[in-house]
Amino acid sequence: MPAITHHIPDPMIAAYASGSLPHAYSMVVASHLSYCRDCQAALGAHQAVGGALLETSACAALTQDAKPKLMARLDAPAAPEPVYDAAGIYPGPVMQSLKGRPLRWKTLGMGVKQDILFEDAAGSARLLYIPAGQAVPDHSHNGLELTLVLQGSFSDETGRFGVGDVEIGDEDLDHTPVADPGDPCICLAATDAPLRFKALMPRLLQPLFRI
């Protein structure tokens, strides 16, 4: 496993363990977990606490038709959803989102490309391809952004992020990420609100690129 220095915050791991984290963020957390033993251990601890709480919780009364409804659902035929394993640099959660389709890179300019994997009212998740030495336009955030490095690395005002590292970008972060020399930087990024770009051209193109 790579040497990871930037982890998922513990409250977010707790939300992931409870199933309350929005899907776009869950994809990033699950992908990071495939790299990081420390966060795997933290997840196991939260799951153990959750199991203990369930065992000590008071039972709730069920309606008389609850059991027949449950048995009917269990008996109903259902085709199992295919499970996609990790492939190359892409963790299993990314491959699961692709569902077997090839990558569809769309150019954002200056060699930067993206492939939107998921989008709903709660947020979006996308792959970003940034050539070595190329900068992402200076921006801040209207909400929360999680960026997980899958290949290469990037640096910004807060430090350097390599494979397996996650940068947490919130409304207080104003930065200009730059892909480091070497391999192109490929990231998985999840956001719950549009970014705030400073330059005019990125702002004009933002609705088209849905970022």
In a domain, 160, yes or no: yes
Q: What is the pLDDT of residues 71-123, one digit of tens each?
A: 877 777 777 788 899 999 999 999 999 999 999 999 999 999 999 999 999 99
**Tokens standing for residue 141:** 């955030």
Residue 74's pLDDT is 76
Is 28 inside any structural domain? yes
- Would the pLDDT of 134 be above 90? yes
pLDDT at 80: 78
pTM for this predicted structure: 0.87
pLDDT band at 147; cut points 50, 70, 90: very high
* Structural domain count, the chain: 1
Kindly tell me the sign of the dihedral angle through the C-alpha atoms of 131, 132, 136, 142: positive
Domain hosting residue 190, numbered range: 1-59+84-211
Beta-strand ranges (E) seen in 104-194 are 106-109, 112-120, 123-130, 139-141, 145-151, 154-156, 159-161, 166-169, 178-179, 185-191
Helices then strands, counting H and E runs in the chain, come out as: 6, 11
CATH number for the domain that contains residue 112: 2.60.120.10
* Residue 78, in any domain of the structure: no
- Looking at the domain assignment, is residue 153 inside a domain? yes
Helix, strand, coil percent values for the chain (each to nearest 5): 30, 25, 40
Q: Is position 143 within any domain?
A: yes
